[in-house]
Amino acid sequence: MAVLVTGGAGFIGSHTVDLLVENGIEVVVVDDLSSGKPENLEHDVLLYKLDIRSGEVRRCFVEHEIDAVLHLAAQVSVEKSLREPKIDMEINLGGTLNLLELCRKYDVEKFVFASSVAVYGEPKYLPVNERHELSPLSPYGCSKLASEFYLKLYSKLYGLHTVSLRYANVYGPRQRDDEEGGVVAIFLRRALLDEPLVIYGDGNQTRDFVFVRDVARANLLALEKNVKSGEFNIATSRETSINRLVEILERVLGKNLKLVHERPRKEIRRSCYDFSLAKRELGWEPTVDLEEGIKLTLQWFRKLLNLNTTKSNAG
């Protein structure tokens, strides 16, 4: 099997590439390196530096016999999607459609799409399952949902096997700690640099944190399992408040952290997602709990900061 992984040099993509290669799967990576990094790729894989909207992506299908596409490349910032909705749409929906058309033309068998729990919007009940109404609250959520509908359409019209994986709050090594990153990465870096952690509101808002290597395994299973189409939550079904996250960080780091409280932002108050369908159909369930995942992520951040310090001193 040859798999084209878009966004393969990025956070989730690089962990997925690692797992695919370790399982003997031939991998071709497409990444424009706007956020991904070649050094994230631990294995010797072919990397095409291309924008997923470009007609040049066709080269991958001409030069390789692609059996499946794992589409992880995206504009992932909700805040950026609110500022620049057109760009969000062009990358997330336009890029997806470009790839779907190439899959149709070159008889690709399967298309696995990195969607998001953002397609649900404000939860009406917890844990949210796949039957929950779809009412996104941002252009980002809209572009992910529209892409899901295109996947369903291509499945019906052309027989392409399509799977959408709705990721919860993914965290782990190699995650960015800027606007496009997640709260775990942002908090860990600030804690290691002895900077205050910014908490918006009372800190009782909850999230469903899922470790990146568990997500990579979900991607692999979605490729391997004989599932012709469907949408699946990739989550832990556990609520963790921001205050609880801080407690775990303090225990792992062995110190009290500086905290700054700012005015609450307009955001979902509580979130938690049911993964039972993924367990039943894909054989997937999370295996890394939050504290263990934070310890693994902490190790990576410590190495990263030491490396940066060494480079700075060397200069």
At 200, which helix (H) or strand (E)?
strand 197-200
Tokens linked to 19? 């797992």
> Can you read off the two tokens belonging to residue 230?
């469907």
Catalytic residue (one of 140, 167, 171, 273): 140
Residues listed for the chain: 315
d(CA 169, CA 40): 20
Mark whether 48 is an active-site residue: no
Of 142, 141, 160, 143, residue with least CA distance to 152: 160
Classify 261 as helix, strand or coil: strand
User: DSSP label at 265?
Assistant: P
Q: Which token pair is 276?
A: 């039972």
Neighbours of 137 (CB within 10 A): 16
Residues marked active site are found at 140
